[in-house]
Amino acid sequence: MRPTTPPPCIVQKGNEIYLQIADEWYVYSLKEPPLGEGAMGTVYLGRSCRTGEKVAIKRVIDKYANVPGIRARAHLEASLLFRHQNLVEMIGICELNPHTGPIFIVSRLVQGITLDQHVEQHLRNRADAVKKICESVYPVFDALEYIHSKGIIHMDIKPSNIMIENGFNIRLMDLGIAYASDVANLTSSGLIGTPKYAAPEQYIEPGQHSLPIDRTTDIYELGVTLYELLTGFNPFESPTREETLRKQRTETLPSVQDVPEPVIDVLRKATAKSQADRFHTAREFKQALQQALQEPKNKSGGWKLPILIGVITGIILVIALMFFL
């Protein structure tokens, strides 16, 4: 008796792609524009064939699908069955062959806007903008603390990977290039992540020794992300990738007039070039930020109180001398 071939779990019918995960089928249409594109793939709006529930379906970019390391990351992302209010719930992975060919990752759909859009629309012009923007990011610290406790490093934290749904709930998106921190000799090779947010250890030039990727890598990226949310610009962004990466390796975050210096100091520590000089945990970073927000709000470009008192006193003395002379 000849062995039977299992039915395919990926089926195309016209412009529709059907995917089977366990006993459930999901479908998306090639005629519909994608929801977005990430470092590893393109995300489409899909639905459950049984319930009609909307889902997000990521197809790993074909040229990457057969790269063992990237394929392993896709498997890792799909296996992250986290139950956390600030993370996306994964459904599973679909592939014809575990080693080659197309690969799809299905997750629950998060509907909303990115955190940077929320900041520009609702927080930027508030009198207490700095405090409110920092508070809006606190759930990301909690999500990082959670995944780090599970041995996972995100490695692509940026404003577009933080969504706010229903006007209040924050979710950290796209664990597509995440790595398990307990993998032996976990190091970077080439560039992993997005250049203008990436920590120095995420890019290794030819001939250089690789540096370990660890939880402080995520802390660096979150520091750059928060700085951009607070100021409206990314200080490392440059016309070329090479210049951006050079700035990441050599330049520190500049002071800005509208953000208190204690807050900038916290972000500078988070984005220290040496991993040993950064905060060691997301919780430590969050606590330092909360403490900085409680300190006197002396803006970097403004008069500090002792200096201001001295200047006023000097002016009064000069006027008095002119009056009596």
Catalytic residue among 116, 156, 174, 214: 156
Distances (CA, A) of 123 to 128, 164, 257, 264: 8, 13, 17, 19
Q: Which residue has the tokens 């896709």?
A: 74
CB count in 10 Å sphere of residue 298: 14
Rounded-to-10 torsion of CA 101, 106, 109, 113 = -40
58 assigned ligand-binding residue: yes
In contact, 64 and 40? CB cutoff 8 Å = yes
156 is catalytic: yes
How is residue 202 annotated by DSSP? G
Within 31-161, strands assigned E span: 36-37, 41-48, 54-60, 90-95, 103-108, 112-114, 152-153
Question: Which residues are marked as active site?
Answer: 156
Could you list the residues known to form a binding site for ATP, using ranges: 58
